[in-house]
């Protein structure tokens, strides 16, 4: 079966500290992978997507970066966090078909 | 580019009654998919229902149905026989079929509260 793992669930980080959020997918190969951010009470905004290893597309200018070192691994990073980076981060994937998108359980990031 | 509009920030419904959540969309793509997701307070995104742009019949999944009106570019979600557990945020989303990106574009959501 296909599953998606995302961790950590919650994170409190000081301003200026680095960030690394990881997402891994099981049970599929060559998925499209996505990072979304959700501000409190708002919809989901697409940050990055990847169609293959090493292929990253950025949707909005920001303080974050993404990497895909392996087919089923997607990492969201920052060298120095800003207060505005606080939010709920969700990883998602879709396979080669069009049978729906699967989301991870999310990481709630608070920058203090 | 795609745009999703959900004009109802909040909705109330009595338990066991039906409720319709509105969604309109704008796209220049000929082939696309429309989705509805439920987000409870835990934050997880739960897939509810999907409608393809070329599907002639409205999608149904249990108590959920999607009222798809292509000419009006609307994809409203109908929940029948509301339950207390239906209280959550509901998001409408869409994705084009024939691009490598295939990313979901979301609306701003509707908070549904089911009252006993």
Q: Tell me what the pLDDT averaged over chain A comes to.
A: 92
Percent of chain B whose pLDDT exceeds 70: 99
Inter-chain residue contact A49 with B105, CB threshold 8 Å: no
pLDDT classification of B105: cutoffs 50, 70, 90: very high
* Rounded distance between C-alpha atoms, residue B29 and residue A90, angstroms: 26
B100 pLDDT more than 80: no
DSSP assignment, residue B41? T
CB atoms within 10 A of CB B46: 13
pLDDT tens, residue by residue, A34-59: 999 998 888 899 999 999 999 999 98
Mark out chain A residues that contact chain B at CB-CB < 8 A. 32, 34, 42-46, 49, 51, 57, 59, 88, 90, 92, 94, 98, 100-103, 105-106, 108
If we measure between CA atoms, which residue out of B67, B64, B62, B18 comes closest to residue B38?
A: B64
pLDDT 10s digits, A71-106: 999 999 999 999 999 999 999 998 766 557 899 999
Tally C-beta pairs within 8 A across A and B.
55
pLDDT in tens, B13-55: 999 999 999 999 999 988 999 999 999 999 999 999 999 999 9
Judge: A42–B33 Cβ closer than 8 Å, yes or no. Answer: no
pLDDT at A3 exceeding the cut of 70: yes
Burial class (CB in 10 A: 0-12, 13-18, 19+), B93: buried
A1: pLDDT strictly greater than 80: no
| DSSP summary character for residue B112 | E
How does strand B60-61 pair with strand B105-106? unpaired
Inter-chain touch A100–B50, beta carbons under 8 Å: yes
Chain B interface test: which of A46, A101, A102, A105 (most B C-beta within 10 Å): A101
What's the pLDDT at A96? 63
| Euclidean distance between CA atoms A109 and A89, whole angstroms | 7
């Amino acid at each position: 079966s296909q599953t998606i793992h995302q961790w950590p669930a919650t994170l409190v980080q000081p301003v200026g500290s680095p960030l690394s959020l990881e997402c891994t997918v099981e049970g599929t190969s060559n998925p499209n992978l996505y990072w979304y951010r959700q501000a409190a009470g708002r919809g989901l905004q697409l940050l990055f997507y990847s169609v293959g290893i090493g292929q990253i597309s950025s949707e909005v200018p920001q303080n974050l970066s993404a990497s895909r070192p392996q087919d089923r691994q997607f990492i969201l990073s920052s060298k120095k966090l800003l207060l505005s980076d606080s939010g709920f981060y969700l990883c998602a994937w879709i396979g080669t078909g069009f049978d729906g998108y699967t989301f991870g359980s999310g990481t709630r990031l608070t920058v203090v | 580019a795609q745009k999703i509009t959900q004009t109802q920030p909040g909705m109330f419904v009595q338990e066991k009654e039906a409720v319709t959540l509105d969604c309109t969309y704008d796209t220049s793509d000929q082939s696309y998919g429309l989705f509805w997701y439920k987000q409870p307070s835990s934050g997880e995104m739960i897939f509810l229902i999907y409608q393809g742009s070329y599907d002639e019949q409205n999608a149904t999944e249990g108590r959920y149905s999607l009222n798809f009106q292509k000419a009006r570019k609307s994809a409203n979600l109908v929940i029948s026989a509301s339950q207390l557990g239906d209280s959550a945020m509901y998001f409408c989303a869409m994705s084009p079929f024939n691009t490598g990106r295939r990313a979901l574009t979301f609306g701003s959501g509707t908070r549904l509260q089911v009252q006993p």
